[in-house]
């Protein structure tokens, strides 16, 4: 088109594409590792509804608004919702999965540190969305 | 293209006119009105979040309604109409035609916006601008939700009519001596964004009808109890609204393509790569919609496909940035107000894009999704890039519209305050998101880092608000009393660039 050469642009685009390929490959690899729950993971059923969380352990114990788990043990959450969509989130452990009506979504984690953590709803769900929280208690074995 | 505000015509002559500059003026005024209305809501939201607990907004439902209407207003009633305003002024002149292809249709498309805006503001719905079912189908208050849906239908039809008009004007009405490949990049930006609108918006129109019949109880498209699936709505929604963000950003980039070569006193580095990047963007815009939905329970394969689709959009945007920088390189740049806005917009476009690359990586998305990171990221795009490009372009159009010059010092103050404010608000919100503060919350936990970050963001928002007051005073005062502009060369740049500024299509 114009009199000058365009090669700097192509070099630049090449660099951008290489960078993206690197980011993509790295992300793919990490996600592949975190996507598969270990076989020994204990199942916890999580139900979101306006505006609280209910948890049901494998042995049938139910908890509302709080969740007690053991340190070092992997857990697999089976998440669903009763009325509208919510999102189950333990920010400190990068656990996030939507709670969708009519579906069961799964996500797993293995807490490494004893303590108290916040569980919160991250998907807008109405009046008290901002306050739809629960507490995660990670206890020593 | 001078509107002769010095020789005012009665308002009804402008309102009932179908001339492209008159319709453009109506679009401009309407979109700016909604800009200030939506911005006022944003200031309310930021004031509420200054401290944890309840400040100025009485209850969370009011707050929820405020952010819903804030988002809906600024996207559908400010950004889209403002792009149409610029297109109306410039596209016919750039393709050397006497008017838009269908002038009456053009006026009809404009006149659908005020009723749409009225429905949104009178309804004041509370289900966020996504209107995701089941919440929007069962829990949202009746008339508000229905009014919102109806408003979106009207605005959707309006943008499709506008898009058809732009496409026909550019492809069919351009001067035979002007090959399409030599058409200015601003015209190309309208061609590509209009093509996206025509492909994308009907999907959302279908989703809205399904949502409405669900609300009326006659269907269950999104209701699992009746065999539907709430996720289906999200697919339809994002298939429209992921490309829609390119509909917003492409005209803004086109505006920068107009400003930057002119104020750098150099031709654009590569016209061809600009066109290529526009076309690429409008194609790959459709390959990435589900990156908004990683956490809805997608399979690993689906997530991977959409991550790649999202990353594919980046090189095209990068080409634009390269083009801008290469154009400025070695140019005799004059940092008048429009150029400052454009350059600031590029800087923020780059930062927002870098955040976007990080965010498209699947594992990172689970940290940031639905937190303030996302709020910061897309506001950096819509405010930092699109609004900056638009405001800069309005300064650029100002002498051509009014025949007078704006106050340069006030324009620069407006830019500097807005830039500082934007960085304070939206960079801080990225950090807030990393700390895990969810978006759309009326109140947050009183952690020290949350409080500090929210306060920085709120102060930044107030600075932006103050700068906008300077702007509106400057615009109103200068259009009445400003110094008369030298219409041949308002900024003293010397030489004429690209398109005939003196061209003025006669009224008919």
Helix (H, G, I), strand (E, B) or coil at A133: strand
Cβ separation of A31 and B440 shorter than 8 Å?
Answer: no
pLDDT above 50: residue A1: no
Which among A48, A81, A130 is the top mutation candidate for probing chain B, defined by the most B β-carbons within 10 Å of its own β-carbon? A130
Place of tokens 């601003």: B186
- Residues linked to residue A138 through DSSP beta bridges, in sequence order: A69, A115
Q: Which residue of B has its CA nearest to A123?
A: B370
d(CA B420, CA B427): 11
- A20 close to B (CB below 8 A): yes
Q: How far apart are CA A73 and CA B70, in angstroms?
A: 45
Q: Does A96 touch chain B (CB under 8 A)?
A: yes
- Pull the structure tokens for residue B506: 């006669």
- Token pair recorded at residue B421: 């404010």
C-alpha radius of gyration, chain A, whole number: 21
Task: Give the one of A12, A94, A100 whose C-beta lies nearest to B296's C-beta.
Answer: A100
Contacting residues of B for A35, CB less than 8 Å apart? 300
Each residue of A93-130: pLDDT tens digit?
999 999 999 999 999 999 999 999 999 999 999 899 99
Evaluate whether A13 touches A93 at the Cβ level (below 8 Å): no
CB–CB contact B438 A120 (8 Å): yes
Nearest to A98 among B128, B297, B444 (CB): B297
Q: Angle at which helices B271-284 and B185-216 pack, to 10 degrees?
A: 10
pLDDT at B496: 60
Interface touch B224/A101, C-beta < 8 Å? yes
Phi, psi of A77 (to 5 degrees): -90, 130
- Token pair 């002149």 in the structure block, residue: B93
- What's the confidence (pLDDT) of residue B502? 47
> Could you give the angle at which helices B142-172 and B60-72 cross, rounded to 10 degrees?
10
Q: Which residues of A touch B326 (CB under 8 A)?
A: 8-9
Q: Do B271 and A94 touch (CB under 8 A)?
A: no
The shortest CB-CB distance from B357 to any of A13, A20, A34 is to A20
Judge whether A87 is closer than 8 Å to chain B, CB to CB.
yes
pTM of the entire structure?
A: 0.93
Subunit contact A103:B370, Cβ cutoff 8 A: no
> Do residues B457 and B432 lie in contact, with contact meaning Cβ atoms separated by under 8 Å?
yes
Of the candidates B208, B217, B78, the residue with the CA atom closest to the CA atom of residue B156? B208
Beta strands in B42-160 (DSSP E): none
- The position carrying tokens 């009325």 is A83
Helix, strand and coil in chain B, % to nearest 5: 75, 0, 25
Residue with tokens 């074995």: A141
Find out whether B307 and B291 touch, Cβ atoms under 8 Å.
yes
Collect the ranges in chain B with pLDDT lower than 50.
Answer: 1-2, 4, 498, 500-502
CA distance B190 to B84: 9
Q: B15: burial class by Cβ within 10 Å (0-12, 13-18, 19+)? A: middle
User: Would an 8 Å CB–CB cutoff place A44 in contact with chain B?
Assistant: no
pLDDT at B449: 92
**From the candidates B232, B312, B434, B438, which should be mutated to test the interface with A, based on the most A CB atoms within 10 A?**
B438
| DSSP characters over B304-341 | HHHHHHHHTHHHHHHHHHHHHHHHHTT------HHHHH
**CB–CB of B134 and A83 under 8 A?**
yes
- Say which of A24, A32, A125 has its CB closest to residue B135: A125
Instruction: State percent of chain A over pLDDT 90.
Output: 64
Residues 6+ apart with CB under 8 A from B275: B181, B185, B188
Q: Which candidate, B322, B246, B326, B238, places its Cα nearest to that of B282?
A: B246
Taking the CA of residue A130 and the nearest CA in chain B, the distance in Å comes to: 4
A interface test, pick of B132, B295, B326 with most A CB neighbours within 10 Å: B295
DSSP classification of residue B407: -
Torsion of CA B21, B25, B26, B32, to 10 degrees: 150
- Rounded-to-integer distance, Cα B38 and Cα A51, Å: 29
ipTM for the complex shown: 0.91
Report how many Cβ contacts below 8 Å link chain A to chain B.
157
Q: What is residue B173's predicted lDDT score, i.e. its pLDDT?
A: 92
CA distance B314 to chain A (A): 8
Put simply, whether A29 touches B (Cβ < 8 Å) is: no
Q: In whole angstroms, give the CA distance from residue B245 to residue B237.
A: 12
Torsion of CA B220, B223, B228, B229, to 10 degrees: 140
Residue B388 Cα to chain centre, angstroms: 10
Nearest CA in chain B to A128: B60
Separation of alpha carbons B6 and B35, rounded Å = 26
8 A C-beta contact, residue B195 and residue B167? yes
Quick check: B81 and B111 in contact, CB under 8 A? no
pLDDT at position A83 over 50: yes
B345 close to B392: Cβ distance less than 8 angstroms: yes
Pick among B297, B322, B450 to test the A interface (most A CBs inside 10 A): B297
CB-based contact, A103 to chain B, within 8 Å:
yes
Burial B376-397 (b: 16+ CB within 10 A, else e): bbbbbbbbbbbbbbbbbbbbbb
Q: How far apart are CA A12 and CA B273, in angstroms?
A: 13
Q: What is the pLDDT of residue B500?
A: 46
DSSP state of B229: -
Contact A96 B295 (CB under 8 A): yes
Angle between helices B388-402 and B80-94 (to 10 degrees): 50
Whole-number average pLDDT of chain A? 90
pLDDT at A42 (0 to 100): 92
> Cα separation of B222 and B217, whole Å?
11
Residue of B nearest to A106 (CA): B297
**Distance between CA A117 and CA A123 in Å, rounded?**
19
Query: What pairs with residue A109 in β-bridges?
Result: A75
Answer for the pair B334, B340: CB distance below 8 angstroms, yes or no.
no
Task: Return the exposure string of B242-272: e unless at least 16 CB atoms fall within 10 Å of the residue's CB, then b.
Answer: bbbbbbbbbbbbbbbbbbbbbbbebbbbbbe
Closest CA to B259 of B4, B502, B499: B499
Top residue of A13, A28, A124, A127 to mutate, by most chain B CBs within 10 Å, is A124
Closest Cα partner for B259 from B372, B353, B339? B339
**CB-CB contact of B83 with B193 (8 Å):** yes
Partners of B370 on chain A (C-beta within 8 Å) are 87, 89, 96, 122-123
């Amino acid at each position: 088109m114009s009199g000058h050469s365009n090669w700097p642009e192509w070099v630049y685009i090449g660099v951008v594409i290489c960078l993206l390929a690197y980011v993509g490959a790295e992300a793919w690899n990490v996600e592949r590792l975190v996507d598969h729950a270990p076989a020994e993971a204990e199942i916890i059923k999580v139900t979101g509804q306006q505006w609280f969380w209910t948890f049901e352990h494998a042995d049938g114990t139910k908890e509302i608004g709080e969740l007690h788990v053991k340190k070092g043990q992997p857990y697999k959450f089976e998440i669903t919702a009763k009325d509208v969509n919510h999102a189950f989130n333990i920010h400190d452990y990068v656990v996030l999965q939507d709670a969708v009506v009519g579906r069961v979504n799964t996500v797993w984690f293995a807490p490494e540190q004893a303590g108290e953590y916040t569980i919160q709803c991250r998907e807008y769900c109405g009046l008290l969305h901002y306050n739809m929280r629960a507490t995660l208690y990670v206890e020593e074995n | 293209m001078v509107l002769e505000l010095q020789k005012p015509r009665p308002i009804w002559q402008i309102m009932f006119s179908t001339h492209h500059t008159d319709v453009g003026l109506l679009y401009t005024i309407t979109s700016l009105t909604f800009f200030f209305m939506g911005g006022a809501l944003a200031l309310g939201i930021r004031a509420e979040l200054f401290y944890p607990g309840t400040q100025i907004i009485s209850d969370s439902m009011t707050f929820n309604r405020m952010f819903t209407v804030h988002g809906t207003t600024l996207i559908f009633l400010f950004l889209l109409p403002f792009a149409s305003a610029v297109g109306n002024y410039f596209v016919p002149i750039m393709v050397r035609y006497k008017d838009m292809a269908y002038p009456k249709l053009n006026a009809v498309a404009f006149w659908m916006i005020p009723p749409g805006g009225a429905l949104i503001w009178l309804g004041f719905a509370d289900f966020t601008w996504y209107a995701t079912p089941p919440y929007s189908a069962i829990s949202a208050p009746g008339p508000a939700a229905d009014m919102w849906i109806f408003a979106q239908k009207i605005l959707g039809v309006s943008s499709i009519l506008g898009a058809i008009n732009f496409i026909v004007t550019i492809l069919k009405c351009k001067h035979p001596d002007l090959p399409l490949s030599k058409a200015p990049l601003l015209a190309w930006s309208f061609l590509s964004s209009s093509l996206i609108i025509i492909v994308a918006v009907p999907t959302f129109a279908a989703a809205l009808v399904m949502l409405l019949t669900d609300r009326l109880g006659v269907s269950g498209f999104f209701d699992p109890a009746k065999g539907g699936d709430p996720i289906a709505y999200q697919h339809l929604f994002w298939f429209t609204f992921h490309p829609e963000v390119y509909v917003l950003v492409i005209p803004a980039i086109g505006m920068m393509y107009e400003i930057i070569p002119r104020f750098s006193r150099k031709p654009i580095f590569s016209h061809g790569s600009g066109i290529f990047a526009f076309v690429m963007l409008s194609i790959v815009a459709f390959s990435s919609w589900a990156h908004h939905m990683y956490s809805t329970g997608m399979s690993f394969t689906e997530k991977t496909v959409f991550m790649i689709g999202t990353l594919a959009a980046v090189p095209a945007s990068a080409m634009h940035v390269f083009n801008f920088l290469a154009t400025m390189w070695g140019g005799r740049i004059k940092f008048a107000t429009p150029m400052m806005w454009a350059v600031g917009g590029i800087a923020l476009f780059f930062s927002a894009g870098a955040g976007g690359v990080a965010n498209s990586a699947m594992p990172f998305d689970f940290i940031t999704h639905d937190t303030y990171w996302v709020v910061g990221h897309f506001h950096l795009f819509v405010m930092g890039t699109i609004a900056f490009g638009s405001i800069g372009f309005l300064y650029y159009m100002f002498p051509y519209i009014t025949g007078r010059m704006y106050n340069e010092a006030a324009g620069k103050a407006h830019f500097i305050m807005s830039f500082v404010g934007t960085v304070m608000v939206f960079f801080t919100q990225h950090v807030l998101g990393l700390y895990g503060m969810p978006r759309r919350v009326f109140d947050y936990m009183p952690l020290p880092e949350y409080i500090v970050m929210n306060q920085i963001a709120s102060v930044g928002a107030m600075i932006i608000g103050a700068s906008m007051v300077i702007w509106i005073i400057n615009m109103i005062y200068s259009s009445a009393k400003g110094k008369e502009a030298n219409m041949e060369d308002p900024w003293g740049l010397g030489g004429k660039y690209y398109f005939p500024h003196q061209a003025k299509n006669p009224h008919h």
